[in-house]
Every structure is written in C-alpha cells, then in structure tokens.
Amino acid sequence: MIKKLFFFFLLLPTFVFSQNDSIINGKVVSESSLLEGIHIINLSKKNGAVTDARGYFQISAKVSDTLQFSAVNLKARQYVLTTNDFLKDLVFVKMESLINKLDEVAIIQYKNINAVALGIVPANQKTYTPAERKLAAAEEFHWYSPLLIPLGGMSVDGLINSISGRTSMLKKELVVERKEFLLSKISDYYEREYFTKTLKIPADYVDGFLFYVAENERFTRAMRDKNKTMASFILSELAVEYLKVSELEPSDSNKNEK
C-alpha cells in the first residue's frame, strides 16, 4: 500500500501538468547580444509571447506542448516541454546566432546597362565638369532681358560677370582643369618608364615633357578620342622635338642600369 501511494505522489505532478496549463518562466541564451523581441509561439495552444531585452519570457503551456522560437538574427528552434521543465524556476533555451554567408559575387560590366538605359538620366544629356558648371552658371542664358537682345539675349548676371572679368577667369580655370584631366589620363595610359626607356626622356624632365605635350592640339584630340595608337605616334614625334628644344641628350637606360 505504501509503495502504491509513493508511485501515486511521484506521478501526480506529471498528471497535473499534463492536464492543466501553467505559466512557464524561461530565458533565451545565445552568443548574440540581441535577445529582445524573440517570438515564442506555443504550437499546441496557438498562444505566444515575446522576450524582453535580457531574453526573459513567460508563456502559458502544459507538458508536451511544443514552443517555437524565432528571431531574425537567430536560428529558429522548437522546444518540447517536459515535466521537469515545470518543476524548474527558470527554463533555459539555447539559440544559435544566424550568420548569413553571401555567395561569391561576380561583377560584370554590361555596356548596355547604364544610367540612360535605366531612365535615370535623359538620353543625350550633356554632362559638365566642375569648371564647366561654374562657367555655365556665370554665362546663364535662361532668363532674357529685352534690353540685352542685341547682345544675343545674354542675362543680366551674364553681362555683369562679363564686365567684371569673372567669366574670363572661369574660362581660364576651365582650360587648367582640362589640362589636369589630360595629365591624369596620360598617367593612366602610360607608365613612367615608357617616357624614360621608350621615348628616352631624362627622368628629371618627364614632368616638363608632360606639360609640353598637353599643349599639343593633335595629341589632345587623340587622347580625347581614346586613340592610343595615334597618341603614341604623336608622343614619339613630340619627344624628338622636346629633346631638341630643351637641348637635351636622349636618356640611356643602359647607363642608368650601370
């Protein structure tokens, strides 16, 4: 009789928890520090709860209920409640951090996909450099004054800028900017050794030679047209001229190596 009573009291908590809902106190533990807002759904009862900033939660459940845990930064998991869980003051549920690994991305340049094709920029719209924008603003032709029609419809601002000399100054800035762009493009097209070894320009005079060729209209036009073959041909001619004008002897790379 005593043994029967022992087993009865031993099985009583299981019977009680399996029949009645109770409040489960739990805490989500994870390597992630973002534990707030984790959703817990009791799939058996369809009720839910959300964790606080420290990962704690409370939910109504009974033995054998399945709890579904989910969060954007954690791997979802299910936890089946046992009798032992209801005997604990706090149930700990471990969740793993979710790390999204991106596949290798290959960047391919498509000639037909650009700002114009996507409708971002109107077709045939002229693009301006910083100096060109300043000059266009200074020569503004958007508003016409009847008094300035004989001058081609120049705006009042345009007339003031012209008289003050600001337009002339901006035109000079534009010339300087274009030469800077040209020198930058030359550096992209040619290594410095090309000038010293192929064109035989002394190393100390390469920078001077670059400024010299930047003044040549034929070379400038070839670079603008991205015709590297023609540009290289003109460079060879200009190198000979530059050495004569500067009264320099062609550099000897063999001497430099010695």
Other residues' Cβ atoms within 10 Å of the Cβ of residue 242: 18
Determine the 3-state secondary structure of 199 from DSSP: coil
- pLDDT at residue 147 in the model: 45
Q: Which residues pair with 58 in a beta bridge?
A: 25
| pLDDT computed for residue 176 by the predictor | 67
> Within a 13 Å sphere around the CA of 177, how many CA atoms are in the beta-carbon half?
14
> How much is the pLDDT for 132?
59
User: What are the structure tokens assigned to 8, written together?
Assistant: 């009865």
Residue 127 amino acid letter:
T
In the predicted model, residues of the chain with pLDDT beneath 50 are 6, 8, 17, 140-149, 151-153, 253-258
CA distance 35 to 194: 61
**What's the pLDDT at 38?**
95
Contacts of 90 (CB under 8 A, 6+ apart): 25, 26, 27
- The pLDDT of residue 224 is 85
